[in-house]
Amino acid sequence: MFYSKLIDVYERLAATTKGLEKTEITDEFLVKARNEPEIVYLLQGKFFPDYDERESGVSEQLVIKAIAKAVAAGADEVVREFKKTGDLGKSAEILIGKKRQAVLFGKKLTTQKFLESLRKLPGLNGKGTVERKVSIIVELLTSGSPVEAKYIIRTLLGDLKVGIGSGILRDAIVECCFEPKDLDEKRKYGEIVQSAYDKTADFAEVFSRALSGLKNLESVDLSPGRPVKVMLYPKAKDIKEAFEIVGKPAAFEYKYDGFRMMINKDENGKISIFTRRLDNVSKQFPDAVAYARENVKAESFIIDCEAVGYNPLEKKYLPFESVSQRIKRKYDIEKMEKELPIELNVFDIIYFNGRSLLNEFFLERRKILEKIVKTAAWKIKLAQQIVTDSDAAAEKFYSQALRDGQEGLMAKNLNAIYKPGARVGYGVKIKPDPNEFDLVIVGAEYGTGKRAGWLTSYDVSCRDKDGNLMEVGKVSTGLKEKPEEGLSFVEMTNELKKIIVSEDGKHVNVKPKIVVSIGYQNIQKSPSYSSGYALRFPRVARLRPDRSVSDIVTIDEIRKEAEK
């Protein structure tokens, strides 16, 4: 397929904010793309499945260099145009439009050629890498029209600006492959498509299977060594509400102040560890690999755990922030392992000795864990649990969890199956401070005075059911001025500068990658933000490097809290 056909779809998607229209546009395109299932990656501005961690490694400066070379201009001319538009994609469109003679002799670009070129980028390293990357980008730019250049650059920088979330893509696959007759059929097929995606984290595979029939789609199963979306848990305000949601009796477990790990062992004995963002962190946590290998007695498995940091001298648990720095660590791993050790608290299992346990009751899954996990102090253990139908017993256990330095409790339905990626009420979390949301930073502003040079005010967003982001306010408190005191403006600025996509005076727009927990006093309606709500007295509580945009709070959850 010619890339220009995809561009037409991008332009139509960008021209509407209505979810149903976006779904219809995407559906029409998928009908034409049946022979190229991988084209669904490009619809979201990606070129690998969601579980694949490879990135282009293309920076703003490298793109400026490539555009300049493609239009035979100086980098300063590109920068001047960029300052006017605030969008390097738009700048490329304008400059190539002005100097059309520079691209007259290129071959017409296809989507296959585009994907192949993009996929070469992550593998380039060593001497001459920048020049080779520039050469690939220039070839793409000189093969395309001005509007194609706009989307080539936006795709490279991970900021497509067409507003197609996973919900819209899911619904479009349903319409394209099953043509549901009514809402009930649409809901049924939507659940099957979503389930397949949650198990594979690969929309191309889901689309391909859906094209070959419902039976093939439903046959999607877990595969150890490949990340899977974790089951998520909504909040309950107290023990009474928890029982109302999950039923009696229920299992109550400590809610540990750590980060989620899915530990896999495949049929060849290889151990892999994934975060809830689907990042492979096996290299960063050799201790967790060793604990799983030595203390989980099974040929193959996928276990769901919470990794909690502790002080090795005092043998006291540490807050999440203390150990979160290990997640992205690439160097001095052995040193970090000794200084910030972790304990694995295992609370679920979804695959065991070649068999999926997704449809087994939680009570049975826990029994399997009790048989195969060999407890080792400060290394690995089962999540502390009681099973009860007594409010008083649950309240007593809740108080014990808080005294032990944990966040609160999880309450779980004993007869619940495991639904990857879903918040379905099979379990809930109970914490003493409910006024906190996970949100993603989408923009920031430079400070003044003694904070000059730092990004000190952050635009934060929630998401709707289709994955579209909606701003819910600005936050500028909760961070420290000195790095040694905790999460600092310096650290946040360094992280945000890596993902800036455009600048306008003191304000910058960034890729929606950094998730933060935001505490607040209350929620009020506000026409100033696209969500229609604003958080009163917001503060940054902590960074959440273990979480992705798909984990942030939804507008429906904010609305529910606001109406209480």
Name beta bridge partners: 461. 440, 471
Q: Which of 22, 90, 255, 379 is catalytic?
A: 255
Two structure tokens written together for 203: 């929309």
Tell me, yes or no, if 255 is annotated catalytic: yes
Nearest to 266, CA basis, from 380, 353, 346, 359: 353
CA distance readout (Å), 497 to 92, 148, 491, 514:
22, 27, 10, 11
- Listed in order, strand segments (DSSP E) in 489-561 are 500-504, 507-510, 515-519, 522-525, 533-536, 539-543
DSSP labels, 177-227? HH--SSHHHHHHHHHHHHHHHHHH--HHHHHHHHHT-HHHHHT----TTS-
Q: Check if the beta carbon of residue 366 is closer than 8 Å to that of residue 401.
A: no
- Contacts of range 90-96, beta carbons closer than 8 Å, 24 or more positions apart: 90/150, 91/67, 91/153, 92/67, 92/141, 92/146, 92/149, 92/150, 92/152, 92/153, 93/146, 93/147, 93/149, 93/150, 94/146, 95/67, 95/71, 96/67, 96/70, 96/71, 96/141, 96/145, 96/146, 96/149
- Catalytic machinery residues: 255
